[in-house]
Structure 1
Amino acid sequence: MDTEDHKALREAVSALGKRHGSTYDRETLWSDAGKLGYLGVNLPEAYGGGGGGITELSLVLEELGAAGCPLLMMVVSPAICGTVIARFGTEEQKQHWLPGFADGTRTMAFGITEPDAGSNSHRITTTARRDQDTGGWILTGRKVFISGVDLADATLIVGRTEDARTGTLKPCLFIVPRDAPGFTRHPIDMELHAAEKQFELTLDDVRLPADALVGDEDAGLLQLFAGLNPERIMTAAFAIGMGRHALAKAVEYARDRQVWNTPIGSHQAIAHPLAQAHIDLELARLMMQKAAQLYDAGDDMGAGEAANMAKYAAGEACVKAVDQAVHTLGGNGLTREFGLARLITAARVARIAPVSREMILNYVSHQTLGLPKSY
């Protein structure tokens, strides 16, 4: 349940979202949210943040989404990149990046997915090798479906380095500036209405200084999943906010629209599916809150399970809520005036990214239930 501070934060963020509305300008909203301290509520106070956690950051994204103006880069910049740098970065990296993340003047994208390594992060082929001349790094590889690269000052790239002792490749994280030579981006033509574009990235012998590495070279998956759990929680917040926005429009329409002098919302065929959508969204929110609280408490293992469950539940609830909202409005649900049709595609993103619902079911069946793997 929300604390009094959380309730106050919800009201303030909701008011900001309603002022901007669903026709919001992304840059203006991002700037306003940064100035008010909402983008950095999870970051340490010593670096300009609010000193809270993913619990508070997910609340901000949910309320902006419910107002019809979600900021997708919140999932990436303060949640993934901010968390990783705050936990594992050097003092210089923290001072350079975290204050900008907190006030919205700096952003960072996150690059993990590859054309041949979607759900299987163990197949990542982007490699980093030592530059014998400078002591830095040389990155080579490709990434795909990376959000907001054109908006970001840098991208946190997941690459793999070779373990000198075993010869095996282990994941490591590198900060790649947007103007680094050999680092190119190509927009992907998406049938998705979103303020943030998707890109394919090419890293052609991108040379980086030694301090581009975030964290310990030998930490491997520990550091990677420190960012992926917040990503799942924030994706759940994104989906819940979107579902709430769609449901609110449908409820308003069902109250006002009359057929034979009776509001259509009085008919159970209309009312019950909307009530079910509300219940599903509230249940998903409870799991999201549980995941965020576990993560903020330092329980990475427990948070991993809950974050996956929250993302699954929120994705399903969002898709159903949007579908029912469109159906409630009938033909009006497909008009630009009501703004629901564009959510049909957007809602499905929560089922697909950053991990598909099928991979979450795999995780739960293997890790939670102890069933054998098929792969």
Structure 2
Amino acid sequence: MDSGIPADTAQLLTDLDRFIEEQIAPLQAADDNERFFDHRREWARTDFEAGGLPRAEWHELLTEMRRRADRAGFLRRDLPAELGGSEAGNLEMAIVREHLAHRGLGLHNDLQDESSIVGNFPSAHLVWKFGTDEQRSEFVEALITGERGLGFGLTEPDHGSDATWMETVGVRSGGDWILDGAKRWNTGMHVATHDLVFARTSGKPGDARGITAFLVPVDAPGFTIGLFRWTLNMPTDHADVTLRGVRVPDSAILGEEGRGLEIAQNFVHENRIRQAASSLGAAQYCIDESVAYARERVTFGQPLAARQAIQWPLVELHTDAAMLRELIRATARDLDTRSHMEVSDRVSMCNYRANRLVCDAADWAMQVHGGMGYSRHLPFEHIYRHHRRYRITEGAEEIQMRKVAGHLFGFTR
């Protein structure tokens, strides 16, 4: 359903579709790469005997996809012009991410590890915005090309959404810092050269100030990558990390000392609206596929689509998708023109509702398709398993609803 897509964005979608058909679809079809997307996908992607990590062949295929997208001028679309980007706004990125997810499972847009022909580079954005000249030079381009990997170490074994109560600490030692603590769900550690570690360096538990972000080499003495935790959707890139007397120089601080949470939260609105758009696109894919199947499938002498038990749940989902599309695009448009805090509550609305919608749509698609829907020969179980995590990560839906409630009842200033 078109909702006032700007002409230049509409042309971009056409160009992306042509690029997919000419370069990405043939790559997916070559060398049995379909094994990463058909019923074999979880097994093909995961090296179960190596701790559940992504297989090297899967990682290389995603890397080649990004190389081709970069050469075609699509990969860096949202990055600053100085980095070869087009400085795409939130509205364009929301439309693009919905469009790519609506195409279904494929090499063009594999959300399992946030890999797409139109890249999303939160780590590069953070270093570009908060880093020193030396940090920018060392990390930004390398993060885009994959020569460097930056993990994200915020969550701890006993602290998730309550990040201001984290127990990892940093203590000054001469011109250096000594870091001690533990992280859980430390994302991206299978390819990380560095980890963005958040540690309390001043203040007391519960204070927003006093937490500092450090760029820590993963080969630093005392830095240990432990168990990669297996999840509902495999492979995993989420590790347990311990820091015991890890020494880093003062130059390892990203941004200002004591203001690390501002870094963690800086790109949150963009990430959440883009993730909501992706969930919406995947939900609409599930709805469309279910409608098409119900029209073709004949039971007891009639198309499945003739039965209200099939019609009405899909009508509800389709209606919710249409309304959510309007909210997501209006919110993305306002993110481009207004203070983020003015629309923070609407970003949360979009995010938690879209994540819930895609789970409902995937679940109903499995039901409509019957036994085949439950099988891995159709993509719905994969979509459900992938998107279910976003009701917890990127800000659990309870946290999102709490934010909306704060605005609604006047508790948030």
Shared fold, TM over 0.5: yes
Cα offsets for 1:189-214 (capped at 9, x unmatched): 43422444322111222222322211
**1:289 aligned counterpart, secondary structure:** helix
Report deviation, 1:364: 1.4
What residue number does 1:9 align with? 12
Counterpart Cα distance in 2 of 1:215 and 1:8: 38
Counterpart Cα distance in 2 of 1:118 and 1:87: 25
Q: Map of 1:277-316 to 2, 5 A cutoff?
A: 277-297=317-337, 299-316=339-356
Which of 50, 68, 71 is the matching residue for 2:105?
A: 68
Counterpart Cα distance in 2 of 1:338 and 1:148: 28
Q: Which amino acid aligns with 1:5?
A: D
Structure 2: runs of 5 or more not aligned: 29-33, 42-57
Q: Map of 1:234-249 to 2, 5 A cutoff?
A: 234-249=274-289
Report deviation, 1:172: 2.1
Report deviation, 1:12: 4.2
Cα offsets for 1:122-168 (capped at 9, x unmatched): 11122222231xx233222111123321023322222222169xx99
Tell whether the 8 Å contact from 1:124 to 1:160 is kept in structure 2 after alignment: yes
Cα 1:330–1:168, aligned 2, differ >3 Å: closer, same or farther? Answer: closer
RMSD (Å), alpha carbons: 3.1
What residue number does 2:151 align with? 109
Cα 1:160–1:229, aligned 2, differ >3 Å: closer, same or farther? Answer: farther
Structure 1: runs of 5 or more not aligned: none
What residue number does 1:28 align with? 61
1:129 aligns with 2:171: yes
Cα offsets for 1:63-108 (capped at 9, x unmatched): 4433214234449x94432222222222222233222344454442
**1:162 aligned counterpart, secondary structure:** coil
Of residues 293-302 and 308-317 in structure 1, the stretch that sits farther from structure 2 once superposed is 293-302
> How many residue pairs get matched?
368
Counterpart Cα distance in 1 of 2:64 and 2:191: 13
Cα offsets for 1:234-269 (capped at 9, x unmatched): 332342233233334323322322224433123332
Counterpart Cα distance in 2 of 1:362 and 1:65: 28
Counterpart Cα distance in 1 of 2:235 and 2:91: 24
Cα 1:307–1:268, aligned 2, differ >3 Å: closer, same or farther? Answer: same
Counterpart Cα distance in 1 of 2:191 and 2:15: 26
1:139 aligns with 2:179: yes
What residue number does 2:362 align with? 322
Counterpart Cα distance in 2 of 1:217 and 1:307: 28
The TM-score normalised by the length of structure 1 is 0.85
Counterpart Cα distance in 1 of 2:92 and 2:150: 20
**2:210 aligned counterpart, secondary structure:** strand
Counterpart Cα distance in 1 of 2:315 and 2:394: 28
Report deviation, 1:331: 1.4
Cα 1:357–1:336, aligned 2, differ >3 Å: closer, same or farther? Answer: same
Which of 388, 393, 404 is the matching residue for 1:348?
A: 388
**1:115 aligned counterpart, secondary structure:** coil
Which of 239, 245, 254 is the matching residue for 1:214?
A: 254
What residue number does 2:233 align with? 193
The TM-score normalised by the length of structure 2 is 0.78
